[in-house]
Amino acid sequence: MRRFIPLFIILAFSLWAEKESPISKDIRKMEFPQLEWNLPEVGKEIERVELPSGAILFLKENHTVPLIEINIYIKGGSSYLKEGEKATSEFFASMIERGGTQNFAPSEFTEKLEINAISFRVNENGYYYSVNELTSKDVLDTALILLKEALFHPSFDDQIIEIEKKKITEEWKKKLDEPNSLLRELSTYMLYRGHPEGSIPDLNLLKSTNQKRLKELKNRFLQPSNMIIGIVGDFKTPKMKERIENIFCDKYNTGAHVGNIPPLTKETQKKVYFYDMKRAQAYFNIQHRGEKAIFPEMFNVMIMNQILGGGGFTSRIVLKVRNEMGLAYRTRSSYSTFSPISGTFSAYCGTSSSTAHQASEYILKEFENIRDKKVSIEELKVAKESLINSTVTRLGNDWDYIQRLLSLELLGLPLDYYLSYNDNIEKVTLNDVLNAAQDFINPEKLAIVIIGDRDKTNMDALREQFGEVEFIEYKIPGL
Residue 65 sits in a domain whose CATH number is: 3.30.830.10
- Are 433 and 267 contacting, i.e. CB atoms less than 8 angstroms apart? no
Give the integer Cα–Cα distance in Å for 18 and 3.
30
Statement to judge: residues 290 and 165 lie in one domain: no
Last residue of a domain, one of 190, 220, 252: 252
Statement to judge: residues 247 and 321 lie in one domain: no
Statement to judge: residues 146 and 120 lie in one domain: yes
Instruction: For residue 129, tell me if it sits in a domain.
Output: yes
Q: What distance lies between CA 338 and its chain's CA centroid?
A: 8
Instruction: For residue 144, tell me if it sits in a domain.
Output: yes
- If one counts every other C-beta atom within 10 angstroms of the C-beta of residue 200, the result is 20
Q: Tell me whether strands 47-50 and 56-61 are parallel, antiparallel or unpaired.
A: antiparallel
Statement to judge: residues 98 and 202 lie in one domain: yes
Instruction: For residue 25, tell me if it sits in a domain.
Output: no
Give the integer Cα–Cα distance in Å for 467 and 347.
18
Give the integer Cα–Cα distance in Å for 30 and 32.
7
Average pLDDT along the chain? 92
Task: For residue range 111-157, list pLDDT tens digits in order.
Answer: 999 999 999 999 999 999 999 999 999 999 999 999 999 999 999 99
Statement to judge: residues 296 and 340 lie in one domain: yes
Task: For residue range 310-338, list pLDDT tens digits in order.
Answer: 999 999 999 999 999 999 989 999 999 99
Instruction: For residue 42, tell me if it sits in a domain.
Output: no
Give the integer Cα–Cα distance in Å for 239 and 174.
46
Instruction: For residue 133, tell me if it sits in a domain.
Output: yes
Statement to judge: residues 236 and 283 lie in one domain: no
Q: Which amino acid is at 192?
A: Y
- Are 298 and 363 contacting, i.e. CB atoms less than 8 angstroms apart? no
Statement to judge: residues 271 and 247 lie in one domain: no
- Residue 12 pLDDT: 41
Statement to judge: residues 151 and 243 lie in one domain: yes
Q: Total structural domains in the chain? A: 2
Statement to judge: residues 283 and 248 lie in one domain: no
Sheet holding 272-276, edge to edge: 330-336, 343-352, 281-290, 447-452, 272-276, 469-471
- Cα-based angle 390, 335, 421 (whole degrees, multiple of 5): 45
Instruction: For residue 343, tell me if it sits in a domain.
Output: yes
Last residue of a domain, one of 221, 252, 283: 252
Statement to judge: residues 272 and 248 lie in one domain: no
Statement to judge: residues 293 and 431 lie in one domain: yes
- Residue 390 pLDDT: 84
Instruction: For residue 193, tell me if it sits in a domain.
Output: yes
Statement to judge: residues 272 and 232 lie in one domain: no
> Residues 18-33: what's their mean pLDDT?
46
What residues does 288 pair with on adjacent strands? 345
Last residue of a domain, one of 252, 279, 311: 252
Q: Which amino acid is at 261?
A: I
Is 80 exceeded by the pLDDT of residue 37? Answer: no
Task: Give the structural domain span for 282.
Answer: 267-471
Instruction: For residue 174, tell me if it sits in a domain.
Output: yes
